[in-house]
């Protein structure tokens, strides 16, 4: 990474100054998730060589079912988005190491790995009414029986498209396109009033 890059990083929600507004306990807590790096992994799911390369690079099998998520060590995930598309995401502190391992495993074979770390803003929604808040704006079934912790789904929520990752029964991470993040936050706060939403510390 070039010099001055770390202090150059600015979240799409920075203008909201969430830190100064944090506090209070509500039925839902809203907050920006910890910064993550993300990569689009493309490739043929039905090609054993590709699946093997992914497994070699990540130490985890390629998730094949819709909504499936493979956990790769410390808070790194490989989320299936479609028949030939996955999202590899890890804490920013990983500094591209996981992606580099995967890239070298894929080298020479089929597939592509594209850095999209700036493409999404991660918003954390948690609390007893977290699912109720999301249900004001999305058509997917959020019942834990249908969408258990550990699963992910790409859907429309409110005014944006989001990748919804359920971390626990009452905790979600929403990966929303960066340019939509501010207005999606506004939407969350407006609908969150019903649940006495507060900004997480």
Partner 1 sequence: MRRQPFRAAEGGHLIDRSEPLRFDFDGHRQEGYRGDSLASGLLAAGVRIVARSFKYHRPRGVWGFGSEEPGAMVATGVREEVRPNLKATEIELADGLMAFGQNAWPSVAWDLGAAVGMAGNVLPAGFYYKTFMWPPRWWLALYEPVLRRMAGFGPAPSAPDGAFYAKRRMHADVLVAGGGPAGVAAALAAARAGAKVVLADENVRFGGGLLRAPGEIGESDGLAWIDAAIGELEAMANVRLLRRATVTGYYDHNLLLVAERAGGDAAPGTPETRLWFVRAREAVIAAGAHERPLLFAGNDRPGVMSASAAGGYAHAYGVLAGQRAVIAGNNDSIYAVARLLRGAGVSIAAVADARAESGARDLPCRPGRTVERALGSRRVRGALLRRTDGRAGDRSERIACDLVAVAGGWSPAVHLHTQARGSLSYDEERGLVLPDRPGGANRSAGAAAGRFDLDGCLAEGWAAGVAAAAASGHERPAGEPPRSPDRVAGDAPVFWRIGAGKQFVDLQYDVTAADVELAAREGYRSVEHVKRYTALGMGTDQGKTSGMAGLVLLSEAIGRPVARTGTTTFRPPYTPVPMAAMAAGLIGEGRDALRRTAADDWHEARGAVFTAAGLWRRPSYYPREGMDEEEAISAEVREVRAGVGIVDVGTLGKVDVQGRDAAAFLDLVYANRISTLKAGRGRYGLMLREDGRVFDDGVVMRLGENHFYLTTTTAQHHAAMQHMEFLLQTVWPELEVYATDVSEHWFAAALAGPGSRALLGEVAPGLDVSDEAFPMMAVRAATVAGLSALVFRMSYSGELSYEIAAPADHGLALWTRLLTAGREHGLTPYGTEAMGVMRIEKGHVTHAEADGRTTPDDLGLGRMVNAGRRSIGRRSLDLPALCRKGRQQLVGLAVIDPEARIPPGCQVAERDDMRPAAPLGHVTSFCYSPTLGRAIALALVENGRSRIGQTVYVASPVTGLAMAAEIVPPVFYDAEGTRLRG
Interface contacts to partner 1, rule CB under 8 A? 1-5, 7-12, 14-15, 40, 42-44, 84-85, 110-112, 114-120, 132, 135-139, 141, 143, 145-146, 158-160, 177-180, 182-184, 186-191, 193-196
Q: How far is the CB of 167 from partner 1 (least distance, A)?
A: 21
Judged by beta carbon, residue 73 or residue 148, the one nearer partner 1 is 148
DSSP E strands, 18-151: 29-32, 36-42, 69-72, 76-82, 85-91, 112-115, 120-126
> How many other CB atoms sit within 10 Å of the CB of residue 8?
9
- Report the alpha-carbon distance of residue 15 to residue 4 in Å, rounded: 20
Residues contacting residue 92 through CB under 8 Å, at least 6 positions apart: 34, 35, 36, 37, 117
Q: Which is nearer to partner 1, 31 or 192 (CB)?
A: 192
Q: Which is nearer to partner 1, 60 or 140 (CB)?
A: 140
Between 71 and 194, name the residue whose CB sits nearer to partner 1: 194
The least distance separating partner 1 from the CB of residue 174, rounded to whole angstroms, comes to 14
**Counting Cβ atoms within 10 Å, is residue 18 exposed (0-12), middle (13-18) or buried (19+)?**
middle
Q: Which residues contact 103 (CB under 8 A, 6 or more apart)?
A: 57, 113
- Residue 159 CB, shortest distance to partner 1, in Å, is 4
3 state DSSP class of 186: helix
Least Å from the CB of residue 51 to partner 1: 16
CB of 50 to partner 1, least distance (A): 11
Is the CB of 42 or the CB of 52 nearer to partner 1?
A: 42
């Amino acid at each position: 990474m070039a010099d001055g890059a770390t202090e150059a990083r600015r979240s799409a929600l920075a203008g909201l100054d969430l830190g100064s507004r944090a506090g209070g306990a509500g039925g839902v807590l809203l907050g920006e998730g910890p910064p993550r790096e993300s990569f689009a992994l493309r490739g043929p799911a039905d090609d054993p060589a590709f699946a093997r390369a992914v497994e070699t690079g990540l130490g985890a099998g390629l998730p094949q079912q819709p909504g499936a998520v493979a956990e790769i060590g410390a808070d790194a995930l490989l989320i299936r988005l479609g028949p030939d598309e996955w999202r590899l995401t890890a804490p920013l502190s990983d500094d591209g190491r996981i992606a580099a391992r995967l890239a070298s495993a894929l080298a020479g074979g089929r597939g592509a790995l594209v850095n999209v770390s700036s493409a999404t803003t991660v918003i954390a929604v948690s609390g007893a009414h977290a699912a109720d808040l999301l249900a004001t704006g999305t058509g997917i079934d959020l019942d834990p029986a249908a969408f258990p912790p550990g699963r992910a789904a790409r859907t429309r929520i409110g005014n944006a498209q989001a990748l919804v990752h359920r971390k626990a029964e009452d905790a979600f991470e929403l990966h929303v396109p960066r340019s939509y993040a501010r207005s999606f936050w506004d939407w969350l706060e407006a609908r969150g009033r019903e649940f006495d939403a507060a900004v997480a510390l």
